[in-house]
């Protein structure tokens, strides 16, 4: 098989074009009218000047992904011009609610599996713990699946260290029970992801062995787990390109071993991450289907064989171990995106996953997320609900083209194994990580409860260590590292003037310091230098918080007095002038990580 060819060549999966005018003349408005209305709101918020043109709202409101793709605030018919791809998600109706189970203890796995299946879960993703030997697998698998109706509930294996032994164990269990496996059951071979996660070397011979077992057992046999690169920090386009490259490598290996192209395609399921950035996540799943259909077309497969089976998993990197309950909001948005994007199966990871082994409450909330979206919000009632939306179609096409370009770069390196060996793929991922971390550091990509609105007094829920957890590069890892080692001494917050005058900047500074594990002691309302000094108790770092007129009136005098009283470092909340004589400042857009690191060093010296 081959993947040579471009996206702009004819494809059979075309969207039927048409229009449906549902509005009357009084409801039609020109773009200029929207620009004027949006500009009025931005001027009120001081994000747009009185002399700025209304058309500047596009620049102000358009967000950019780490791939450099634009997410526009308003879709227009012109967004559909020049699209290179087309296609629709294949899932129709409810998605498969898939629970994630991990660990080497069969009894624990079995208890969790039966509770999940009795309460709305429809399939199991079974990740067997590291260090399990081939001889132990039949016993562990049999115990974990005791009482599970394998002809009704699909099981997807994840045993990167022992893929063949695990596949043989599940196939043997099905034979011993005389069962026809439930559709969607997957023996789960994915040797490239095993290498990428540092669990095993890539063994394509094992892939072929598992595939043959799957054919004999009547199951799927292969998973292309793109979350392996997502967990390392890859962008959406890189995740797409990686998945296509791995899928192509597996197709080559399977067809060279004697399987037909369509037979090989029928064995593969793809796993993607979905985040709380809902529109890119929706677009990624839609783009993935189009791209894999293109790979199937170039490989000579028929239209039906090109359909991609998708398993969407809520992102591990987007979660935070601090204020973990916010993770429920993140995973809800991500699950919504997965359903709208057309995923065949959806796994919502429990909100306490970053803390260790999830407890029963977290698992219940995870499975109920899909239940609420399906049964109460009716997300699954409409196939491809985002289809035809101008902005979503544009983003889907842009992301598809970016993913195809990434596939090209990987193939130019000699394929995914060569790209991993020479480090070119990892180097590109590292560039994305650096860009994202800069945005997180400057809080352009805020993380609620961590970089924004942190609670230094929170008590994290205790969880047992999860020895099966995969390596994850969380987006907020740098802030988490600061919170892990809080500073013993507080910053003295010199609040200047009445509460109404200083509260905005005092709140800003307090939250910023808390994001770095730094507490504050505030002076309260003060009318001058003497009152501030009366509240000051000798802390080495002081932060001034007040209004610009107050700063102009007595900030310089206060700074001098504080230094004389023992302050070694004086910070201003806002933008200082040279005359104030401060050592540092903090305002919107500051590199928070760098600022907090400097402050912590001063407090610790």
Same domain, 121 and 64: no
Phi, psi of 203, deg, nearest 5: -130, 95
Same domain, 67 and 102: no
pLDDT of 44 above 60: yes
Same domain, 61 and 146: no
Cβ atoms within 10 A of the Cβ of 45, count? Answer: 9
Same domain, 198 and 313: yes
Domain boundary among 412, 437, 465: 412
What CATH number is attached to the domain comprising 545? 3.40.50.280
Tell me, what's the pLDDT at 23? 66
Judge whether 349 lies within some domain: yes
Give the whole-number percent of the chain exceeding pLDDT 90: 88
pLDDT, one tens digit per residue, over 128-181 is 977 788 999 999 999 999 999 999 999 999 999 999 999 999 999 999 999 999
Residue matched to tokens 């009283």: 565
Same domain, 401 and 491: no
Domain boundary among 362, 389, 412: 412
Cβ atoms within 10 A of the Cβ of 483, count? Answer: 21
DSSP secondary structure letters along 416-458: HHHHHHHTHHHHHHHHHHHHHHHHHHTTSS--BTTTBS--TT-
Q: Which of 361, 445, 405 is nearest to 119 (CA)?
A: 361
As a whole number of angstroms, the distance between CA 323 and CA 461 comes to: 10
Judge whether 186 lies within some domain: yes
pLDDT of 288 above 80: yes
Same domain, 495 and 360: no
Judge whether 510 lies within some domain: yes
Judge whether 7 lies within some domain: no
Same domain, 274 and 309: yes
Residue matched to tokens 């040579």: 4
Domain boundary among 13, 44, 76: 76
Q: Quick one: CA torsion of 88, 92, 97, 101, rounded to 10 degrees?
A: -50
Judge whether 287 lies within some domain: yes
pLDDT, one tens digit per residue, over 105-124 is 999 999 999 999 999 999 99
Same domain, 68 and 102: no
Q: Supply the range of the domain harboring residue 495.
A: 485-604
What CATH number is attached to the domain comprising 388? 3.20.20.240
Judge whether 520 lies within some domain: yes
Same domain, 489 and 401: no
Same domain, 374 and 268: yes
Helix (H/G/I), strand (E/B), else coil: 102? strand
CA atoms within 13 A on the CB side of 69: 24
As a whole number of angstroms, the distance between CA 395 and CA 280 comes to: 7
Judge whether 599 lies within some domain: yes
pLDDT, one tens digit per residue, over 1-17 is 555 566 654 443 333 34
The pLDDT confidence band at residue 475, using thresholds 50, 70 and 90, is very high
Same domain, 110 and 38: no
Same domain, 143 and 242: yes
Judge whether 208 lies within some domain: yes
- The count of domains in the chain is 3
* Mean local confidence (pLDDT), 62-91: 91
Tell me, what's the pLDDT at 5? 60
């Amino acid at each position: 098989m081959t993947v040579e060819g471009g996206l702009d060549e004819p494809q059979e999966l075309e969207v039927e074009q048409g229009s449906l005018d549902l509005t009357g003349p009084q409801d039609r408005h020109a773009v200029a009218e929207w620009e004027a209305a949006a500009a009025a709101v931005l001027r009120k918020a001081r994000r747009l000047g009185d002399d700025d043109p209304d058309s500047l709202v596009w620049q102000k409101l358009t967000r950019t992904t780490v791939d450099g793709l634009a997410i526009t605030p308003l879709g227009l018919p012109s967004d559909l011009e020049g699209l290179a791809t087309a296609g629709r998600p294949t899932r129709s109706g409810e998605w498969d609610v898939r629970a994630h189970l991990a660990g080497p203890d069969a009894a624990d796995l079995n208890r969790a599996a039966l509770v999940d299946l009795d309460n709305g879960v429809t399939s199991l993703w079974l990740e067997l713990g590291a260090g399990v030997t081939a001889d132990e697998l039949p016993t562990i698998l049999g115990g974990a699946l005791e009482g599970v109706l394998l002809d009704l509930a699909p099981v997807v294996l994840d045993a990167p260290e022992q893929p063949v032994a695990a596949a043989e164990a599940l196939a043997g269990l099905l034979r011993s029970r005389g069962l026809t496996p439930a559709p969607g059951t997957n023996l789960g071979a994915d040797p490239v992801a095993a290498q990428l996660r540092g669990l095993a070397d890539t063994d394509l011979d094992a892939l072929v062995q598992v595939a043959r077992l799957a054919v004999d057992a009547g199951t799927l046999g292969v998973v292309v787990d793109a979350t392996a690169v997502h967990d390392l920090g890859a962008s959406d386009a890189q995740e797409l390109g990686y998945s296509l490259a791995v899928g192509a490598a597996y197709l080559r290996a399977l067809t060279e071993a004697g399987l037909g192209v369509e037979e090989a395609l029928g064995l593969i399921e793809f796993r993607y991450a979905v985040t709380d950035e809902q529109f890119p996540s929706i677009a990624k799943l839609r783009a993935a289907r189009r791209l894999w259909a293109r790979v199937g077309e170039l490989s000579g497969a028929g239209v039906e064989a090109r359909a991609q089976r998708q398993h969407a998993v809520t992102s591990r990197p987007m979660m935070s171990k601090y204020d973990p309950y916010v993770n429920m909001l993140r995973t809800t948005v991500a699950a919504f995106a997965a359903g709208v994007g057309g995923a065949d199966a959806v796994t919502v990871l429990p909100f306490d996953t970053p803390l260790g082994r999830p407890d029963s409450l977290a698992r219940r909330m995870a499975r109920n997320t899909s239940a609420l979206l399906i049964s109460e919000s009716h997300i699954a009632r409409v196939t491809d609900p985002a289809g035809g939306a101008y902005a979503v179609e544009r983003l889907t096409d842009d992301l598809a083209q970016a993913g195809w370009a990434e596939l090209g770069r990987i193939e130019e390196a000699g394929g995914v194994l060569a790209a991993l060996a020479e480090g070119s793929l990892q180097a590109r991922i590292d560039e994305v990580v650096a860009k994202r971390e800069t945005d997180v550091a400057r809080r352009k990509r805020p993380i609620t409860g961590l970089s924004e609105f942190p609670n230094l007094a929170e008590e994290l829920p205790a969880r047992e260590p999860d020895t099966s957890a995969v390596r994850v590069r969380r987006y907020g890892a740098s802030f988490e590292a600061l919170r892990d080692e809080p500073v013993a001494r507080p910053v003295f917050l010199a609040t200047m003037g009445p509460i109404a005058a200083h509260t905005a900047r005092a709140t800003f500074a307090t939250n910023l310091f808390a994001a770095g594990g730094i507490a504050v002691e505030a002076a309260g309302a003060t009318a001058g230098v003497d009152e501030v000094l009366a509240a000051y108790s000798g802390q080495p770092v002081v932060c001034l918080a007040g209004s610009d007129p107050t700063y102009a009136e007595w900030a310089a005098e206060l700074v001098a007095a504080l230094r004389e009283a023992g302050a070694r470092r004086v910070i201003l909340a806002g933008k200082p002038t040279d005359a104030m004589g401060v050592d540092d400042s903090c305002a919107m857009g500051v590199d928070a990580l760098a600022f907090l690191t400097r402050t912590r060093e001063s407090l610790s010296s």
